[in-house]
Structure 1
Amino acid sequence: MMDQIDTRLLALLQGDATLTSQQLGDRLNLSPSQAGRRRQRLEAEGYITGYRATLDPDALGLGVQAFVQVEMATHTEKNARDFVRLTHLQPEITGAWTLTGEADYLLRVFCRDLPALNRLVQQVLLPHPAVSRVQSQLVMERVKPDAPLPLGPARG
């Protein structure tokens, strides 16, 4: 069960996953070993699923971000499995979700330029046998970066 200290610890790690046990302990009024044990427990219980660095796509030459909606022509289990596998094999696709509504999938895509996005759509997505329609929306400006998850009052 999570308490308020666990919730605060998670909020701190969402802001900076590189915080040491000493730094977490200082901010939470805990000893470093207590903070470290709490972090380990939250990892073991699945609240923390991993750590990663946030990279700047522009600095890496990935100047085009798009959201791509995909409608499937057929909805067999095999087609869905094959399409999901395809999303995992394309490094430009950084996120994929199934949806309700007109589109079956929403893909988050980063490409070097518009021709690269066009190649992804025309040569990878549309040729898939289960895909009937692809619609892309280019990101003009990112007005809010991916934010930490909202951590409300402690559960328990």
Structure 2
Amino acid sequence: MRKEITLDAIDRDILFHLARDGRLTNVELARRVGLTPPPCLRRVKRLEESGVITGYRATVDPEAVGRGLEVLVDVEIYAQDRKSFQEFEDTVSSYPEVVEFRRLYGRPDYFVRVAVADHAAYETFLTEKLSGLPAVLRLESHLTMKRIKPDAP
């Protein structure tokens, strides 16, 4: 649960540095933001406890783990009732190939980012999983040619 807090320039600077390198030591982070380590650590803990910082993660090279092909999929569905939306969302969220999934305003209804090994793996995912779902009306796939700006912190 997120508590409302007011962020000052130092808090924002802390967030800037941690978003780029979550493995910074407290001593190094304090140096970069112009604090001594104890108040810097207190600020980081406050940002964590308030829910501003929601976690830390490793950035993984998709090709190194067999997910070098990324496809962006626009999905339109037939469903208009809450139960069908929820079932569709629960099912698609459970697929390990899905690395990002958003419900949109307007059309398409959903945006799905899929990461797989190659074209054959994507065809299998599309034909055996996504297109077979009862709510699906239309799918449009966009294959990624080149990532210009990867996920930014």
TM-score by length of structure 1 reads 0.91
Per the TM alignment, residue 144 of structure 1 is displaced from its structure 2 partner at its CA by 1.0
Per the TM alignment, residue 121 of structure 1 is displaced from its structure 2 partner at its CA by 1.2
Q: Deviations over 1:56-100 (max 9, x none)?
A: 111222121010111001121111111111122111101011112
| Length, aligned pairs only | 148
RMSD between superposed Cα atoms in Å: 1.0
Structure 1 unmatched ranges of 5 or more: 149-156
Q: Could you tell me how far apart the structure 1 residues matched to 2:139 and 2:93 are?
A: 18
Structure 2 unmatched ranges of 5 or more: 1-5
The one of the two structures with greater contact order (alpha-carbon pairs below 8 A, sep at least 6) is 1
* Match of residue 128 from structure 1: 133
Q: Could you tell me how far apart the structure 2 residues matched to 1:78 and 1:119 are?
A: 27
Matched, 1:115 2:120: yes
TM-score by length of structure 2 reads 0.92
* Match of residue 22 from structure 2: 17
Letter of the aligned partner of 1:57 in structure 2? P
Percent identical: 40
* Match of residue 59 from structure 2: 54
* Match of residue 154 from structure 1: none
Runs of 4+ more than 3 Å apart: none
Letter of the aligned partner of 1:126 in structure 2? S
Letter of the aligned partner of 2:96 in structure 1? P
Matches within 5 A, 1:1-156: 1-148=6-153
Q: Tell me the secondary structure at the aligned position of residue 137 of structure 2.
A: strand
Q: Could you tell me how far apart the structure 2 residues matched to 1:33 and 1:24 are?
A: 11
